[in-house]
Amino acid sequence: MNQEPLIRVRGLTNRFGQHSVHEDLDLDLYPREILGVVGGSGTGKSVLLRSIVGLLQPSAGRIEVFGEDLQRLSTQDRSRVERRFGVLFQRGALFTSLTLQENVALPLIEHIGLTRADAEALARVKLALAGLPGESATQYPAELSGGMIKRAALARALALDPEVLFLDEPTAGLDPIAAAAFDRLILTLRDALGLSVFLVTHDLDTLYAACDRVAVLSRGRVLVADRIDVVEDTDDAWIHDYFHGPRGRAAHLAAYPAEES
Ligand SMILES: Nc1ncnc2c1ncn2[C@@H]1O[C@H](COP(=O)(O)OP(=O)(O)OP(=O)(O)O)[C@@H](O)[C@H]1O
């Protein structure tokens, strides 16, 4: 890509005691791209996400975001940078005792100081943006399907108009139809809002349907980060098993039906 990356990770190292998760890891996220991050269980996908969004202090390395080195910033400047991120965590984490519009309004009240009425009005816009019907605004998470909860969590991640969206396994636990609809929503939001998306996933269909590039984590580093056709052809045992196993082949054929013979 001949653009400057929005996020540049260099030499990232993360260790927990004797356990090394990342060793000298490099990765870039470019403007308006959807980057899928995959790898076996425990390869450090979530730890990488948490390092970038500032929830985890890396053992070593540099993370530049919007041209600024996160580690060199004051706490105040860091939170200014981190406000430009929207994060959807693996377990959705909505407050069960709040309605959807109250959940989404919360960051608007806390971070921007909107009045409750204004925040809830804006929250309803965000819920609509995430594809939820108007009546869902006054519902509680327990009243909703898994797919709707994911959409509500996405609406909350979008509350502060982020430039970069971090999604940790957004389609986990969704049925295939809801998962495919969520993939389309991510694409639509990227196109409409010009977002860049860092998407940790195990979902092969999401990789084919939504991602511009795929980064594979293995043995503490990024083994390859490229278009999916290049990644598929990378000579590595895990990549071979993942992309050329039965599920991988099915996802590939769904994306390229003309190849079916
Ligand atoms: N705070 C922590 N303290 C100690 N070890 C940790 C901590 N956070 C993560 N780890 C370890 O780091 C490794 C990578 O964890 P991580 O959650 O990033 O994996 P992952 O690739 O996202 O896995 P999965 O696909 O199963 O979600 C794991 O071995 C995990 O136990």
Question: Over the chain, what is the mean pLDDT?
Answer: 92
Distance 50 CA to ligand 1 centre (A): 10
DSSP 209: H
Helix (H, G, I), strand (E, B) or coil at 121: helix
Whether pLDDT at 51 is above 90: yes
- Say how far apart CA 100 and CA 112 lie, in whole Å: 19
Distance 106 CA to ligand 1 centre (A): 29
- Say how far apart CA 216 and CA 231 lie, in whole Å: 8
Residue of the CA atom closest to atom 28 of ligand 1? 42
Whether pLDDT at 261 is above 70: no
Ligand 1 pocket check for 16: Cβ under 6 Å: yes
> Would you state the pLDDT for residue 260?
67
pLDDT digits (tens, 9 = 90+) for 142-166: 999 888 999 999 999 999 999 999 9
Ligand 1 pocket check for 51: Cβ under 6 Å: no
Ligand 1 pocket check for 47: Cβ under 6 Å: yes
- Alpha-helical (H) ranges within 84-235 are 100-107, 116-129, 146-157, 176-193, 204-210, 228-232
What residue spans define the domains of the chain? 95-161
Its ipTM equals: 0.97
End-to-end CA separation in angstroms for the chain: 34
Counting runs of H as helices and runs of E as strands, what totals does the chain give?
A: 10, 10
- In which band, very low, low, confident or very high, does the pLDDT at 1 lie, cut at 50, 70 and 90? low
pLDDT digits (tens, 9 = 90+) for 81-139: 888 999 998 766 799 999 999 999 999 999 889 999 999 999 999 999 999 999 999 99
- Say how far apart CA 143 and CA 27 lie, in whole Å: 40
